[in-house]
Amino acid sequence: LAARVAGQVHEAARRCLGPGQGELDRAAFEEIFPWRTGWASAVLTEGLLVPAGAGYRFAHEELGDWVQGAHLDLDAALRSLVHRWHRGSGGTVRPPSTEGEPRSLPVPRHRIGPVIQAMVLLGRRQGTAALAHRMADLIEALDRLWTDEGPRDEDAAWWAAHLLGGSLLRVPDARPYLGVLRVLAGRITRRSAAPEGPGDLGAYGEFGPWFWRRLRLPEEDRIDLLRRLVPADGLPRTDGDERYLDAVARRLALDAPAVQPLLCRWFTDERPLLVGP
């Protein structure tokens, strides 16, 4: 019985994938959970699925995201949401669609959960190198989707930034992705040196100090990443938003004996700051 229930749940999740709001239409619901056998009443009574619009959805969003992520074709999703919208290797702007593909993004932003889950599952199933490769591709996409002239496709850039950030925050150990994080920190610093200055990081603005604080990393690695990011700081903020240097100061205040020796290594970093500390 348990195996049958699991099979039905996974089939429901698979059918929730695709364009739209992520719901199971009534016909599919009744096919998977027939009313005549009591399955429909059971899953609704137990709160596994709940009515939503013209169909049904998983009552618990995290469970729904996890099960759907297990069935998602990740590479196809990344191409549809991000990669087909930026420049091709030949240096010309890639057409927004090819034959049979929609000219707009196929899913709304609030359905990002299953894609992030699929990325995390990729790391578990195929290893951290496979996931790191997809993350690096998203950084490259950000560079191409948001240039100094502005966004080429703001929606695709949003997906690239949030898929990258969401998966890095969701992995249980971010150490295997330090190479990706160093590249990301370098891109942020480089972007801050553009004529627009630190106040206009484009899509890289999604990776503020809060992001680096939440990463599951040893303090030594976190402080080293923040060292790389401090040159991207602008003038001290008056609106309450913190800079990367402020994040370092907070870490120092929380655990001075551990953080102070790590900060001594900063004296070997000779990069100039854009503004004074």
Q: What is the mean pLDDT of each run of 10 residues along the chain (277 residues)?
A: 76 75 82 89 88 85 86 90 70 45 64 93 96 97 78 85 97 98 94 67 89 96 95 70 90 93 88 65
C-alpha angle with apex 151: 147 to 156, nearest 5 degrees?
Answer: 115
pLDDT for the residue 93: 43
Cβ count within 10 A of residue 84: 18
**What is the Cα–Cα distance from 196 to 149, expressed in whole angstroms?**
10
Nearest to 201, CA basis, from 212, 219, 185, 221: 185
Sheet holding 24-25, edge to edge: 24-25, 55-58, 49-52
Strands 55-58 and 24-25: antiparallel
Longest dimension (CA), the chain: 73
Q: Give residue 86's pLDDT.
A: 77
pLDDT at 6: 81
pTM above 0.85, yes or no: no
Query: For residues 203 and 145, is the Cβ–Cβ distance under 8 A?
Result: yes
| Structure confidence at residue 61 (pLDDT) | 84
H or E stretch at 20: none
The secondary structure of 60-110 as a DSSP string is SHHHHHHHHHHH--HHHHHHHHTGGGS--TTSSPPPS--TTS-SS-SS-GG
The pLDDT of residue 95 is 46
pLDDT score recorded for residue 271: 77
Q: Which residue has the tokens 């100094």?
A: 148
